[in-house]
Each structure stands twice: as structure tokens, then as C-alpha cells.
């Protein structure tokens, strides 16, 4: 005969399921006079389906609880919350300054993603705030301690503080030009050499008989002799 409620009798006198030992669903199966088993609904565990850690709402701050067995559960935490119960969030104190974005790394540590030009553990440093670049130069922070200036044409120096035209670094009529913030070049007149047009070995030349001196290096020159004159100084006539 088919018995309802999955009841099995031993000598037609014992059914352990009659006492409803299975909690939270009561899906009981009696095997004999001494044994039964409970089929537990999802997330319930234990011999009588009596255990579900999530019923006590252990997950804090909006964490989602999942019960795995009769001894453990886990919390799926939102956002920057960490910890076994989503109880920790080091970003709650808003440690990242100047618009930096905080990310929790552990229960007690975090990192800050900083906006352009801001550096430091808490995005607290921006060397460009003091406007170190002069004369229209554009500042870029490189680290907590360094920055660089992109200078307008004609200005150079670490802070774009020097105007090559006003400072006139080129000597002897040389014309200065600059294409970056750290250097300049001089266009030198005939026979003047050197970074600042400071050398002209022809000033002490010994070219004779109308010979024309031509600078070769900062310290050497040669003589271009008139017709019929030869020698290093055009001192001999053919």
C-alpha cells in the first residue's frame, strides 16, 4: 500500500517522522525504528535543517549572505566594504583628498587614484598649485617632489624664468633662439663659434698679403690666400 508523507513503519508501530523533527520544511523520511533523514530547503543545514547562519543577518552594510553548510557562510560585500561580515571600509573616512578616488585593499588599507597633477598617498600634493612656471609656462606635476614647465617660445629655464632675447646670452652679435624649456641656440656671425658665439680664432690670425682667415674650430683657423700667395699664413709668393 502507498503511504502518504513518505512514512515507513517498522512492525507497523514506529514512524519517527510523526514528531516532525525536521525544521524549516519538514521533509522527513523514516527508514526504520531508529533512523530518519531530513531533506532541507536551500541554505538550511544540519540533521534537522535547523541551521542557517544567514537568518541572523550577519552581513553588514548591505552585504549578501550565502549559507554553505552547517558550519560556514560567506558575505558578498558591496563597494569598498571588506571583512568576513562586510564590517570594514577604510574609505569611509574619505582619506583621498582633492577629488581622488578611494579603493579598499584590506580591512585597514586603501589606495587613492589621484586626479591629474596630484600625488601622494592621499593625493595631497600638487607642486603646480604654487604656480612655479613663469611667463605663461604650463606646469605638470611629475611626482611628490618634482614638476616640469613647458615654456612659451623664447623662454627657457626650469621655471621658464629666462627670456633669451632679453638676457642676450649670445655674444658678438649672435642671435638666440629656443624651442624648449631647457636650452637655446645661437646663430653666430661669420668666424664666430661656440655655444654663445664667444670664440673667433681669426682675431689673432697671422694671415698675410691679403689672405682671408676662416675659423675652423674654437681654437684653429686657416688662411685663404690671394692668387700667387701660398703658405699657412700666405707668407710666400709664387
Measured from the Cβ of residue 99, the count of other Cβ atoms closer than 10 Å reads 11
- Rounded-to-integer distance, Cα 83 and Cα 91, Å: 13
The percentage of the chain sitting over the pLDDT mark of 70, rounded to a whole number, equals 93
Provide the 10 A C-beta neighbour count for residue 166. Answer: 9
The CATH class for the domain spanning 200-238 reads mainly beta
**pTM exceeds 0.75:** no
The pLDDT value given to residue 25: 75
C-alpha cell at 99: 577629488
CA distance 144 to 126: 7
Instruction: Give the pLDDT confidence score for residue 81 in this predicted structure.
Output: 97
Q: Quote the distance between the C-alpha of residue 173 and its chain's center.
A: 48
Extract the runs of DSSP E, i.e. beta strands, from 64-165.
Answer: 64-67, 73-76, 101-104, 110-113, 138-141, 147-150, 155-156, 162-163
The grid coordinates of residue 211 equal 689672405
CATH number of 127-189: 2.10.25.10
The residues of the chain that CATH labels 2.10.25.10 are 127-189, 200-238
Q: Per-residue confidence at 133, pLDDT binned at 50, 70, 90?
A: very high
Amino acid at each position: 500500500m502507498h503511504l502518504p508523507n513518505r512514512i515507513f513503519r517498522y512492525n507497523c508501530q514506529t514512524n519517527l517522522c510523526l514528531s516532525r523533527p525536521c525544521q524549516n520544511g519538514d521533509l522527513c523520511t523514516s527508514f526504520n525504528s531508529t533512523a530518519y533523514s531530513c531533506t532541507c530547503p536551500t541554505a538550511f543545514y544540519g540533521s534537522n535543517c535547523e541551521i542557517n547562519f544567514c537568518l541572523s543577518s550577519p552581513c553588514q552594510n548591505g552585504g549578501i549572505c550565502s549559507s554553505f553548510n552547517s558550519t560556514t557562510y560567506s558575505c558578498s560585500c558591496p563597494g569598498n566594504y571588506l571583512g568576513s561580515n562586510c564590517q570594514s571600509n577604510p574609505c569611509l573616512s574619505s582619506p583621498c583628498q582633492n577629488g581622488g578616488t578611494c579603493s579598499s585593499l584590506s580591512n585597514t588599507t586603501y589606495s587613492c587614484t589621484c586626479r591629474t597633477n596630484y600625488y601622494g598617498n592621499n593625493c595631497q600634493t600638487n607642486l603646480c598649485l604654487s604656480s612655479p612656471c613663469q611667463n605663461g609656462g604650463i606646469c605638470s606635476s611629475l611626482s611628490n617632489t618634482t614638476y616640469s614647465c613647458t615654456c612659451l617660445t623664447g623662454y627657457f629655464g626650469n621655471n621658464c624664468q629666462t627670456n633669451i632675447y632679453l638676457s642676450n646670452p649670445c655674444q658678438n652679435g649672435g642671435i638666440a633662439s629656443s624651442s624648449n624649456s631647457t636650452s637655446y641656440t645661437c646663430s653666430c656671425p661669420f668666424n664666430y663659434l661656440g655655444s654663445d658665439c664667444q670664440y673667433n680664432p681669426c682675431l689673432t690670425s697671422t694671415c698675410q698679403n691679403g689672405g682671408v682667415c676662416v675659423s675652423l674650430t674654437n681654437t684653429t683657423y686657416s688662411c685663404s690666400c690671394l692668387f700667387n700667395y701660398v703658405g699657412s699664413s700666405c707668407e710666400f709668393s709664387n
